[in-house]
Structure 1
Amino acid sequence: MTTVVVLRLPLDTDLSGFVALLQRLRVPHRVAEEGGQQVLFVPGEELAEQVRELYSRYPQGDAGTQLPRPQAPARESFLVQLWRSPVTALMLVSTFIVFAVTLAGENFAAIRWLSFVDFRIDGERIYLTYLSATLDSGQWWRLITPMLIHFGWLHLAMNSLWYWELGRRIEFRQGSIGLLGLSLLFGLASNFAQYWWAGPSLFGGLSGVLYGLLGHCWIYQRLAPNAAYRLPPGVLVMMLAWLAICMTGIFELLQFGAIANAAHVGGLLTGCLTGLLGGMLARR
Structure 2
Amino acid sequence: MSAVEAMRLPEQVDLSGFVALLQRLQVPHRVAEEAGEQVLWVPGEQLAEQVRELYARYPQGDALAQGQPALLAQQGPGVLQQLLGSRLTASVLILTLVIFALIGGGDNYAAIRWLSFVDFRLQGDYIYFSYLAETWNSGQWWRLLSPMLIHFGWLHLAMNCLWYWELGRRIEAYEGALMLLALSLLFGLAANFAQYWWVGPSLFGGLSGVLYGLLGHCWIYQRLAPNPAYRLPPGVLVMMLAWLLICMTGIFELLQFGAIANAAHVGGLLAGCLSGLLGGALARRGR
* Bin for the TM-score computed over the shorter chain: over 0.9
1:72 is displaced (CA, Å) by: 6.9
Partner SS state of residue 230, structure 2 = coil
Alignment partner, residue 104 of structure 1: 105
Partner SS state of residue 127, structure 1 = strand
Alignment partner, residue 139 of structure 2: 138
Alignment partner, residue 237 of structure 2: 236
Counterpart contact for 1:190–1:264, Cα < 8 Å = yes
For 1:23-102, list aligned pairs within 5 A: 23-62=23-62, 63-71=64-72, 73-102=74-103
1:46 is displaced (CA, Å) by: 2.3
Amino acid paired to 1:130: Y
Give the % identical residues: 74
Instruction: State the Cα deviation string for residues 174-233 of structure 1 (Å, max 9, x = none).
Output: 222221111111111100110111111110111101111111111112222222221111
For 1:13-24, list aligned pairs within 5 A: 13-24=13-24
1:76 is displaced (CA, Å) by: 1.3
Q: Structure 1 pair 64/73, CA: closer, same or farther in 2 (3 Å)?
A: closer
Q: Structure 1 pair 82/30, CA: closer, same or farther in 2 (3 Å)?
A: closer
Counterpart contact for 2:164–2:211, Cα < 8 Å = yes
Q: Tell me the distance in 2 between the aligned counterparts of 1:98 and 1:132.
A: 25
Q: Tell me the distance in 2 between the aligned counterparts of 1:206 and 1:72.
A: 33
Amino acid paired to 1:88: T
1:41 is displaced (CA, Å) by: 2.5
Higher mean C-alpha deviation, range 146-155 or range 12-21: 12-21
1:28 is displaced (CA, Å) by: 2.2
Q: Tell me the distance in 1 between the aligned counterparts of 2:44 and 2:264.
A: 39
Is the aligned partner of 1:201 residue 2:202?
Answer: yes
Q: Tell me the distance in 1 between the aligned counterparts of 2:23 and 2:154.
A: 34
Partner SS state of residue 9, structure 2 = strand
Q: Structure 1 pair 156/132, CA: closer, same or farther in 2 (3 Å)?
A: same
Alignment partner, residue 276 of structure 1: 277
Q: Tell me the distance in 2 between the aligned counterparts of 1:135 and 1:246.
A: 31
Higher mean C-alpha deviation, range 174-183 or range 123-132: 174-183
Q: Tell me the distance in 2 between the aligned counterparts of 1:158 and 1:17.
A: 31
Cα RMSD, aligned residues only: 1.7
Q: Tell me the distance in 1 between the aligned counterparts of 2:151 and 2:129.
A: 19
Q: Tell me the distance in 2 between the aligned counterparts of 1:223 and 1:278.
A: 9
Instruction: State the Cα deviation string for residues 35-65 of structure 1 (Å, max 9, x = none).
Output: 2333323233322222122222222332532
Q: Tell me the distance in 1 between the aligned counterparts of 2:49 and 2:145.
A: 43
Between Structure 1 and Structure 2, how many residues are aligned?
A: 284
Counterpart contact for 1:47–1:70, Cα < 8 Å = no
Where do 5+ consecutive residues of structure 1 fail to align?
A: none
Q: Tell me the distance in 1 between the aligned counterparts of 2:122 and 2:243.
A: 32
Q: Tell me the distance in 2 between the aligned counterparts of 1:223 and 1:6.
A: 26
Amino acid paired to 2:51: V
Higher mean C-alpha deviation, range 244-253 or range 78-87: 78-87
Q: Tell me the distance in 1 between the aligned counterparts of 2:67 and 2:120.
A: 63
